[in-house]
Each structure stands twice: as C-alpha cells, then as structure tokens.
Amino acid sequence: MRSTPLRTTGPGGGTGAGTGAAGTGPSETGRRIPVAVHAADPISRAGAVSQLRQHPVVELRDEKDSGPGVVALLVSETLDDATLSRLRRLVRSEGAKAVLVVGVLRENELLDVIECGVGAIVWRHEATGRRLAQAVLAAARGDGDLPSDLLGRLISQVGTLHRTAAGHPIVPTSGLAPREVDVLRLVAEGLDTGEIAAKLSYSERTVKNVMHGLTTRLRLRNRAHAVAYALREGYI
C-alpha cells in the first residue's frame, strides 16, 4: 500500500501533496481513532466535539484519556505559553499524537510547534468537520498535515536559519547517511513511499525502514519533523 503524503491544505479545504509519513493508520485497518478534544473554553470544545461526532471513523474520548494511541486535538486562538506547554505534555509526556487548531500562529512559533511533535495544524476558520477529520487521520498515521501557507513559511524559516548558520558549520553528533538524505529530499518534494522507491530503485519496505531508522535514532516525531531537521542542519 502506498503511504499518504503530508497534505498541504489550501484556503478552500482542498489538499495537495507535501511531505508525509509511511505506514498504515487505524482507519485503514477498520479501527476507529480515539480522539480527545482539549480547549481552554467549553464553547470551543463543544464545537470541535460536535464537528467530529458526525464522522464514524472517530471515537470521542474524555480529555483525561489522552495517551499512546490517542489523537489529542487542541483548540486555541493563539499559541501562548500555556498552550505550548500543554502540547509538549500531551505529546512528549503522555505519548499522544496531536492536532493543533489555532487562529493565529506567529513566525517564531511555527518551529516550536513542529519540534514539539505536532505534525497536523488546522486554521480555526477552516475547521470544518471534514477538515478536522482529515487532520485526525493524518496524525493517527504519523503523517503531517499543514495548511499550504504554513508549509511555505516553515521551509522559508528553516532556510533562513540555515543561511544564518552557514558561516559557522557544525558537524552534528548524530548526522544523516547519504541514503537518508536522498529519501528525505524526495519526501520534501512531496513524493510518497512508492514514488520514492521507484525514483531511488529501492523497495517500498526499504524506504519505510530508512524513515523509521532515522526518526527513531534522532528522536523525531514524524516526517514533517524529519524534513525540518534536515533543512535546519543543511542536508537538503
């Protein structure tokens, strides 16, 4: 089965290809996806719950049930310190996959969110039931799902960081092998597992093993995080 690439979502809610993750998610095996909705106010939480309840693939859980195997959907107007701390706790301490639904995200906050392990972000004004379900599915599979404007900002921001550091090259203690760089470069171009395998004359299993190996070794949360790491370190 071909893996689903990271989705870039345009203003109209349509999707295009971007960086993504390999593997088979719960919905593809007939299992429902447990989702715990977190929000600072009851109105936002009730709205998200109402939108998700109509989708049969979603199994709503109490927000206290966040943990491994659960997708935590966090709704916030801005990314303040409390929201960022909550994201870190949900992903790093409790082991949940996370979707961030946010109204405003400043330039300096985007990398913080990605490095937190959040691969799916939805603008609040685009948070229809269909859009939320799409992000939940992506997060459950370990894919990334970013609005197209955010993906462009991420690449631009990391590129700026790389150019700034270009005059002070540092050899990372845990680098990437040439084969890993080749795979990540194609991931960043939006190719899925089957296309990468064909391009590099690898089997799909080899491509999946390469991605699993580098994300595990470098403690990266997903492919969006892996691409951000490769860009920041100057590999691609």
CATH number assigned to the domain comprising residue 98: 3.40.50.2300
- Residue 124 confidence (pLDDT): 94
Q: Between 145 and 38, whose confidence is greater?
A: 38
* Amino acid identity, position 18: G
Quick: pLDDT tens for 121-132: 999 999 999 999
CA dist 134 to 13, 112, 169, 200, Å?
10, 23, 39, 30
Whether residue 15 is contained in a domain is answered as no
Whether residue 149 is contained in a domain is answered as no
Quick: pLDDT tens for 114-163: 878 887 999 999 999 999 999 999 999 888 888 878 776 766 655 555 55
Containing domain of residue 172, as a range?
Answer: 155-232
Query: CA 97 to CA 70: how far, in whole Å?
Result: 6
Q: Which of 174, 180, 185, 177 is nearest to 207 (CA)?
A: 180
Is residue 123 domain-shared with residue 50, that is, in the same domain? yes
Q: What are phi and psi of 190, to 5 degrees?
A: 95, 10
Proportion of the chain above pLDDT 90, given as a percent:
27
How would you class 196 by CB atoms within 10 Å of its CB: exposed for 0-12, middle for 13-18, buried for 19 or more? buried
Is residue 164 domain-shared with residue 219, that is, in the same domain? yes
- Residue 27 confidence (pLDDT): 55
- DSSP 8-state assignment for residue 41: S
Whether residue 92 is contained in a domain is answered as yes
Q: Is the confidence at residue 169, as pLDDT, over 50?
A: no
Is residue 103 domain-shared with residue 209, that is, in the same domain? no
Is residue 117 domain-shared with residue 161, that is, in the same domain? no
Q: Is the confidence at residue 175, as pLDDT, over 90?
A: no
How would you class 230 by CB atoms within 10 Å of its CB: exposed for 0-12, middle for 13-18, buried for 19 or more? buried
